[in-house]
Chain A
Amino acid sequence: MTAMEIDTEKNLQRKQSTYQSLDETFEIQNETYRGQQYSQIYFVRLHIMRTMLYSLVTHWKPHIPVCTILGLEEGKECIIVGTLYKHMKLKPCILDEYSKERSAVPLVKLHNFMHPDDHLVLEDESGRVKLGGTMLSPSAYVTGVVVALHGKETSAGDFLVLDVLEAGLAPQIDRQLKSKEDRYVVFVSGVNVGSSTSNPLQFQLLVDHITGHLGDEKEQGIAAEIVHVVIAGNSVEIPPGLLNGQNLASKDQSRLSEPVQELDILLTQIAAGVSVDIMPGSSDPANFSLPQQPLSRWLFPGSRVYNTFRSCTNPHCFELDGVRFLGTSGQNIDDLKKYSEARDELEFMERTLKWRHLAPTTPNTLGCYPFTDRDPFLIESCPHVYFVGNQDKYGTRILKGSEGQLVRLISIPKFCDTGIAVVLNLRNLECHTLSFGTQISA
Chain B
Amino acid sequence: MATASSNMKGFYRQRKSGITKPTSTKSKKSSLHREATLGSDITQPSALISHGSPDLKDDYDKHEELLRQFDMNMAYGPCLGMSRLARWDRAQGLGLNPPKEIEGLLKGEKVQSACLWDGHI
Within 8 A of B (CB), among A158-198: none
Residues 192-216 of chain A: 1 if any B CB is under 8 Å from the residue's CB, otherwise 0?
A: 0000000000000000000000000
Other-chain contact of B81, A35, A44, A47, A48 (Cβ < 8 Å): A35
Within 8 A of A (CB), among B83-121: 83, 86, 89-90, 93-96
**Given that A372-B90, A373-B89 are contacting pairs, would A43 and B78 also be in contact in the complex, using a CB cutoff of 8 Å?**
yes
A48, closest chain B residue (CB): B94
B42 located at the interface, meaning its Cβ lies under 8 Å from any Cβ of chain A in the complex: no
Determine if A47 and B86 form an interchain contact, defined as CB atoms under 8 angstroms apart.
no
Within 8 A of B (CB), among A39-66: 39-40, 43-44, 47-48, 51
**Given that A48-B94, A373-B93 are contacting pairs, would A40 and B78 also be in contact in the complex, using a CB cutoff of 8 Å?**
yes
Give the residues in chain B near A47, CB-CB below 8 Å. Answer: 77, 94, 96
Determine if A36 and B80 form an interchain contact, defined as CB atoms under 8 angstroms apart.
yes
Give chain B nearest CB distance to A49 CB in angstroms. 12
Determine if B74 and A372 form an interchain contact, defined as CB atoms under 8 angstroms apart.
no
Determine if A44 and B90 form an interchain contact, defined as CB atoms under 8 angstroms apart.
yes
Number of B interface residues at 8 Å Cβ cutoff, please give it: 14
**Given that A372-B86, A372-B90, A373-B86 are contacting pairs, would A40 and B95 also be in contact in the complex, using a CB cutoff of 8 Å?**
no
Determine if B81 and A34 form an interchain contact, defined as CB atoms under 8 angstroms apart.
yes
B95, closest chain A residue (CB): A51
Other-chain contact of B77, A35, A44, A51, A370 (Cβ < 8 Å): A44
Determine if B77 and A43 form an interchain contact, defined as CB atoms under 8 angstroms apart.
yes
Give the residues in chain B near A125, CB-CB below 8 Å. Answer: 74
Give the residues in chain B near A37, CB-CB below 8 Å. Answer: 78, 80-81
Give the residues in chain A near B82, CB-CB below 8 Å. Answer: 34, 36, 40, 372-373
Determine if B77 and A40 form an interchain contact, defined as CB atoms under 8 angstroms apart.
yes
Determine if B78 and A39 form an interchain contact, defined as CB atoms under 8 angstroms apart.
yes
Give chain A nearest CB distance to B2 CB in angstroms. 22
The answer for the CA separation of A43 and B79 in the assembled complex, in Å, is 11
Give the residues in chain B near A39, CB-CB below 8 Å. Answer: 77-78, 80
Determine if A44 and B74 form an interchain contact, defined as CB atoms under 8 angstroms apart.
no
Give chain B nearest CB distance to A140 CB in angstroms. 29
The answer for the CA separation of A59 and B74 in the assembled complex, in Å, is 29
Give the residues in chain A near B95, CB-CB below 8 Å. Answer: 51
Determine if A372 and B81 form an interchain contact, defined as CB atoms under 8 angstroms apart.
yes
Residues 147-165 of chain A: 1 if any B CB is under 8 Å from the residue's CB, otherwise 0?
A: 0000000000000000000
Give the residues in chain A near B81, CB-CB below 8 Å. Answer: 34-37, 40, 370, 372
Give chain B nearest CB distance to A122 CB in angstroms. 18
Within 8 A of B (CB), among A365-411: 370, 372-373
The answer for the CA separation of A288 and B103 in the assembled complex, in Å, is 37
Give chain B nearest CB distance to A125 CB in angstroms. 6
Give chain B nearest CB distance to A222 CB in angstroms. 47
Give the residues in chain A near B90, CB-CB below 8 Å. Answer: 44, 372-373
The answer for the CA separation of A40 and B89 in the assembled complex, in Å, is 14
The answer for the CA separation of A412 and B69 in the assembled complex, in Å, is 51
The answer for the CA separation of A34 and B94 in the assembled complex, in Å, is 21
| Best-buried of B77, B80, B86 by chain A (most CB within 10 Å) | B77
The answer for the CA separation of A35 and B74 in the assembled complex, in Å, is 19
B81, closest chain A residue (CB): A36
Give the residues in chain A near B93, CB-CB below 8 Å. Answer: 373
The answer for the CA separation of A118 and B90 in the assembled complex, in Å, is 35
Give the residues in chain A near B78, CB-CB below 8 Å. Answer: 37, 39-40, 43
The answer for the CA separation of A40 and B80 in the assembled complex, in Å, is 9
Please, could you name 7 A-B residue pairs with CB atoms under 8 Å apart, sorted by A? A34-B83, A39-B77, A39-B78, A43-B77, A48-B94, A372-B81, A372-B82
In addition to A47-B94, A47-B96, 11 A-B residue pairs with Cβ atoms within 8 Å of each other are: A34-B82, A36-B80, A37-B81, A39-B80, A40-B81, A43-B77, A43-B78, A44-B90, A44-B94, A370-B81, A373-B86
Give residues in B with beta carbon < 8 Å to A: 74, 77-78, 80-83, 86, 89-90, 93-96
Give residues in A with beta carbon < 8 Å to B: 34-37, 39-40, 43-44, 47-48, 51, 125, 370, 372-373
What 8 A-B pairs are tightest by C-beta distance, nearest first?
Answer: A36-B81, A43-B77, A39-B78, A373-B90, A372-B82, A35-B81, A34-B81, A47-B94
